[in-house]
């Protein structure tokens, strides 16, 4: 089974802190995604990466950056956390052609 692992399930941070969310997949998938999920708004794409060091902005990239130095690892960075970034963050991966997103367990971030 494809496994997508998010290193932190629950985080509590202060406004202005730098936050790193890590995601690792073990199936050699080219494509990796970061979404955030908020009640009533559904899943919204933050960033997408289709190869090492390659990235594309999603629908809500403001306030976020990403890093993909290795194929299996895709990191989401909040340079200066704000309270409106309190959310559930979901990492996912897929292989071109398969089109099926496999999600990690999620990281619930609270910014105080």
Report the distance separating Cα 27 and Cα 18, nearest Å.
29
Indicate which single residue of 43, 67, 77, 95 sits in contact with other proteins (rule: CB under 8 A).
Answer: 43
Say if residues 4 and 34 touch (Cβ distance below 8 Å): no
Q: Count CB atoms within 10 A of the CB of residue 27.
A: 13
Site string (3-42) toward other proteins, x via CB under 8 A: ----------------------------x-x------xxx
Interaction of residue 101 with other proteins, rule CB under 8 A:
yes
Among the listed ranges 20-28, 61-69, 72-80, 103-111, the one in contact with other proteins (CB under 8 A) is 103-111
Interaction of residue 85 with other proteins, rule CB under 8 A:
no
CA separation, residue 5 to residues 2, 15, 28, 39, 100 (Å): 10, 26, 13, 23, 17
Q: Which residues bind other proteins (CB under 8 A)?
A: 31, 33, 40-43, 45, 48, 50, 58-59, 90, 94, 99-106
């Amino acid at each position: 089974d494809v496994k997508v692992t998010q290193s932190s399930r629950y985080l509590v941070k202060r406004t202005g802190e730098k936050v790193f969310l890590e995601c690792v997949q073990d199936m050699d998938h080219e494509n990796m995604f970061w979404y955030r999920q908020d009640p009533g708004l559904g899943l919204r794409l933050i960033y997408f990466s289709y190869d090492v060091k390659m990235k594309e902005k999603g629908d809500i990239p403001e306030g976020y950056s990403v890093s993909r130095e290795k194929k299996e690892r895709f990191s989401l960075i909040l340079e200066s956390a704000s309270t409106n970034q309190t959310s559930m963050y979901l990492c996912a991966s897929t292989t071109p052609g398969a089109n099926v997103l496999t999600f990690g367990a999620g990281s619930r971030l609270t910014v105080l």
